[in-house]
Structure 1
Amino acid sequence: MNEFDFVRARSPEHAVQLMSAVHEDAAVRTAPRYLAGGTNVVDLWREGVMQPRSMVDISRLRLADITDGPDGGIRLGALATNAATANHPLVRSRLPLLRSAILAGASPQIRNRATNGGNLLQRTRCLYFYDTQVPCNKRELGSGCPAVHGLARQHAILGASDVCVATHPSDMCVALAALDATVAVIGPDGLRAIPFDELHRLPGDRPDLDTTLDPAELITHIDIPANRWRANSCYLKLRERASYAFALVSVAAALDLNDDGTIADARVALGGVAHKPWRNRDAERLLVGQRPSSEAFGRCAARILDDARACGGAEVPGAPPGNSFKIPLAARAIVRALEMALAGVATNTGEDAFRALGAASASLSQGAAR
């Protein structure tokens, strides 16, 4: 049995004080952790992936409100559950993209327990990371990454490094990236606001570090600015079964249309393809001023995937690497999500998902035949 200290915070400031006192430069695996819903940290603890020596309970802090934010936006409390967030009147009426993404994740039971702050900080669901009997650079830096040349169906095609090809598992975070959210935190040096794109890290040579947070910093809320995406946004999630599965590829797409029907602004964020939610602003700008069309959406997709690289070993001798199917799948998913956003379809159906999966498989088969 692993011994650990358990303390309950009385306020956000007290939580930071407690965490600062017990951290003591501990290794990532044994570092103290904040505990709220526990839907990820307890799993990792139970599997032996993490063995924190101290837990700071923040579950009773008053950080669960969802309110109007500055300048017409919405403020999400870090301790509001995913279910409460998705079903809140403000989110239902103003942020269908976020609602669709949250409801595409996990299961109703988990969404009832998981918190918004915890969703942002959940760790990769890589099978090698969870299996303590095999090497993993995220779990033990320098031990190796079996996924680079092994079974890598779920792994990254963008932003990976030679030491880690894991992907970020969150659906909610993909929507928050598209919505230009800002994450508010409190730490030993006081308050700071982090643009969402700067919260999560690419693996580089430190895949054990998932975010740019100081170890004692605590997320207090998430601010989403006012936007014009409500009428034309979509969250498309492609996965290997209809529910309770992580994305092979997901796309949060949103369009703002001018009166003449041309595109005034666009957002495209991808999940399931990188160590963090993936956005390419150059690709988004390709759509500005264009008339919506599959061709224009295809050019955007091609730009996003310019640097995509497959990884993993060939499951059949002479075949492409294990996750090579993800590249054409992502291209089709981006086009499909933008078409659905244009039509005002907020989320995918099983029929849409299987159509996109089938198209990618057909493309790979044709490529192999040639």
Structure 2
Amino acid sequence: MKKSLYMNLLTAAVLIALSFPSPAAQTEAWQKTVGFLAAETESADPAASTEPDLQSMSWDDYAISLDGVTLQFPLLFADCGLDGWDASDDLTTPLEPNQYNMFYFTKADRRMYLFIANFAQNTQPAEECVICGVGIDRFDWKEEDGEILLPGGIRRGISTLQEIERAYGTPSRTYEGDLYTQLTYETDIYETIELSVYRESGVLEDIEMKVLRKPDQFDPGEVSTEVPSAVSAYQEPEQLSTDPAASEIRVEDQVYTLPVPVSTLLSDGWKIQPEDSQASIAARSSGWVSLQKGGQHFRTLAANPTDSAVTPVNAWVTSLSIGKNDLDLDGALPGGITVGMSRSALEALFDRKGVSCEVEKNGDFIYYTYDKVSYDECKEVVVFTGTDGPYEADTVIKITCSKPE
């Protein structure tokens, strides 16, 4: 089951903003069964073991002992050290940066799932990523099969609700269900332990531990310096299309099809402002880039659709705006829409071209949105209707073309 998130790894607040794949993507079934760390455990040096000591830990150390093997999350997949467990899911499944999946593993009659996340800046297989937690439930792992321990002397199949609260204190949240009581302890968003005590047995049966945080001294990987093939293949149009549906915009004498490579803008005289731009942009994500030409400047999110981190020069600008409060330059959209044209001329052009618009009035401004596929794939024209302001009344003051990579 696939989950992803768009997270800023520096703060938990930005971590909330990440967006994961659609529910449809979450239901994908992985087919390949892969042996889990067999080669690593066979060649490991027992004398070099750094297994954490569960007895000296508290619940917020996010540790668990499974049949005598103690895991403390997060940890690199290669450092896990569980022997004899087989992956029910394909561990070569690529994870994009700031994305995680649940992967199931089996051993004899036992089954559990591990949360595996990619904190690197390149897309890479799950087996090269980070294990960020574990889930065990009564249906997939019977209480009598093996020993599962938590810090503070808490034992699955033995510890009661009262014993958990004595060891861990008052939970962050408590859910009272018909079949069980679930105690949730958390240190931050996406850093939680959920412990379910069933009413019938009176003891702990279900455990889910998740800590979506990169390990200490984590290596984010290298930034690719190769020019992506799509960037190399991009060609600027010779002139602006007469078709209003074309994803084009004219900036002064240059016409661009959106999205446009940053490198194309650089070849037309724009310069990256490094102090206001990101040094690199992670795979399958966006990053800020600031561009200047003469006295004109704009800052935008540039997209990287590849599986490798890139420098901003090899990313794509997906939206360009011309107007008094943006780039104060001569510009136009396909079909003859220009900054400074009258509102009546604009509406007559829409009627003549058969352009259907969403029209929204907000104060002294009217927003005409058309060719809208999504919020980030559309064209927008803004008209000022007021009489007291820096603009001429009933004129177009801004045009925008947006199209994602």
TM-score between both structures, scaled by the size of structure 1: 0.22
Judging by fraction of residues, say which structure has more helix: 1
Rg comparison, structure with higher value = 2
TM-score between both structures, scaled by the size of structure 2: 0.20
